[in-house]
Amino acid sequence: MILTFFSYPIVRFSAPRAQHCYLHLCSLCSSSIEIAAAAPPPPPPMQREPPKFPCEIDTELDRISSLPGHVLGQILSLLPIRDAVRTSALKRKWRYKWSQIPHIVFDSQGISISSQDQTTIKNKLVNIIDHILLLHNGPIYKFKLSHCDLLGVSDIDRWILHLSRGSTKEFVLEIWKGQQYKLPSCLFSFKNLVYLELFNCLLKPPLAFKGFRNLKNLDLQHVTLAQEVFEKLISSCAMLERLTLINFDGFTHLNINAPNLQFFDVEGVFDDVSFENTFVLALVSIGLYVNVKNDQNVSYGSSSKLLRFFVNLPHVRRLEIQSYFLKYLAIGKVPSKLPKPCIDLNYLSIRLNFNDYEENSAALCLLRSCPNLQEIEILAHPEEQAVVGPVSDFWDDDHWKCLFGQLRLVKIVGISGIRSELDCIKFLLSNSPVLEKMTIKPVSKEEGWEVVKQLLHLRRASIQAEVFHLEL
């Protein structure tokens, strides 16, 4: 047997390329190899995949760098601003990635300064924000400034002016320390603003202000603005869908004129609330912090606050009446039922003084005017024990009978076992044929056992209704 070999230089290829070259090499060598006819063919040589170069490994592992720029921007926007800026140290191509993120949030999580001196904290915060805004290259769609150590400094004016020249859609400013910060007039020139949230600020827009034409969500907490400014602000934002007002000063009449408003949440001290052109409003939560006194200049025969409140809420689906607002609704002559039932209302939460006849009348009017209720929550006033008006046998009167054909869940919290509370529970149990669960939570353990004993004897219209007693 005569074998003739040819010598070739060693070249490193990838696995497919190496296999192709090996087969080509064998075809070239076949004419120069003389093998006896009876000799068995030699076994094929073992092939090993050549090791990858470091650059190939890096390319496969660093897949995130090849993502589109807007995707990287969204990822970096989810990081605290401190960590987003630190990504510039990863490699050269990441050096300025953070400077194009569309969402910038300056809060205590993103910026941590270890110092007890307020001046030092203020200077460092201002320097950090100045540098980031200076180096930022691209649109800022969301800007949030909510650092627990930041006062209402004048530097904020410069930042707002800078943002007003761009395309900011979401602006959040929360001043947690010091006096209220007076907003500069340039804030009211934001043309693309969709979301505005302010905390501890003073609003005084320029006379030429004609509203935020694209604003859909307005959240004002611990703010001060004049009555006419408030009304103009609401009515001039035609696209407004969500409005939140908590602890405000400068206006006491909540005149809400918003054709696209769907969500309204208010907590504070006010004299009056009315709705106009709010026919799509579906979720309402109102809490009045000050109790309405009986010596107000409102007579029993005056127009009903309850009727006036619901006249422009034909499609409300969820209603929460907190604090003393039910007492407000009880002002004037309370009807036994609303002229037009709230057919879309499926959830009702009320805070009720069971010892107050007027509040009980308003609560019953609501219950009898909402035939499609699915869930009811009643929060009792355990701290108010004085009886106001003849409450005994109120809920037990036969002409109050009504039927809750869809009521499935009831929760009553803070009861002490008085007669009117038990009568209300009996009223709900006997008029809810599809009730599934009623949860009772007494104000204390001592009164809880007495309530349980009396609940066991109450008739239930629903054979599947279960009554749960929650201990403290």
pLDDT on residue 57: 46
pLDDT on residue 351: 96
- 23-37, 59-73, 203-217, 352-366: which range is least confident on average? 23-37
pLDDT on residue 71: 75
pLDDT on residue 16: 42
- 65-69, 171-175, 435-439: which range is least confident on average? 65-69
Closest CA to 203 of 175, 186, 176, 184: 184
pLDDT average, residue stretch 261-276: 97
The Cα–Cα gap between 269 and 254 comes to: 10
pLDDT average, residue stretch 128-138: 88
Given a cut of 60, whether residue 226 has pLDDT beyond it is yes
What are the angstrom distances between the C-alpha of 370 and each of 120, 312, 320, 413? 58, 16, 14, 21
Q: How confident is residue 229, by pLDDT bands cut at 50, 70 and 90?
A: very high
More confident residue, 377 or 104: 377
Q: How confident is residue 30, by pLDDT bands cut at 50, 70 and 90?
A: very low
pLDDT on residue 47: 56
DSSP 221-267: EEEE--HHHHHHHHHT-TT--EEEEEEEES--EEEEE-TT--EEEEE
Q: What is the pLDDT of residues 234-259, one digit of tens each?
A: 999 999 999 999 999 999 999 999 99
pLDDT on residue 5: 34
- 11-15, 46-50, 132-136, 386-390: which range is least confident on average? 11-15
Quote the Cα angle for 430-434-436, to 5°.
95
The mean predicted confidence, pLDDT, of the chain is 81
Residue indicated by tokens 């006249």: 311
Q: What is the pLDDT of residues 302-311, one digit of tens each?
A: 678 999 999 9
- 24-38, 53-67, 251-265: which range is least confident on average? 24-38
Residue indicated by tokens 């990858």: 52
The Cα–Cα gap between 177 and 167 comes to: 29
Q: What is the pLDDT of residues 421-432, one digit of tens each?
A: 888 888 899 899
Given a cut of 50, whether residue 22 has pLDDT beyond it is no
Q: How far is CA 230 from the centre of its chain?
A: 23
DSSP 176-192: -SSSPEEPPGGGGG-SS
Instruction: Encode 141-166: b = buried (16+ Cβ within 10 Å), e = exposed.
Output: bbbbbbbebbbbeeebbbbbebbbeb
Note the residue count of the chain. Answer: 472
Q: What is the pLDDT of residues 69-109, one digit of tens each?
A: 677 767 777 777 777 777 777 767 677 677 778 888 988 88
Continuous H helices in 315-404: 325-329, 357-368
pLDDT average, residue stretch 291-307: 65
- 17-31, 64-78, 274-288: which range is least confident on average? 17-31
If one counts every other C-beta atom within 10 angstroms of the C-beta of residue 294, the result is 12
The Cα–Cα gap between 78 and 428 comes to: 48
pLDDT on residue 392: 61
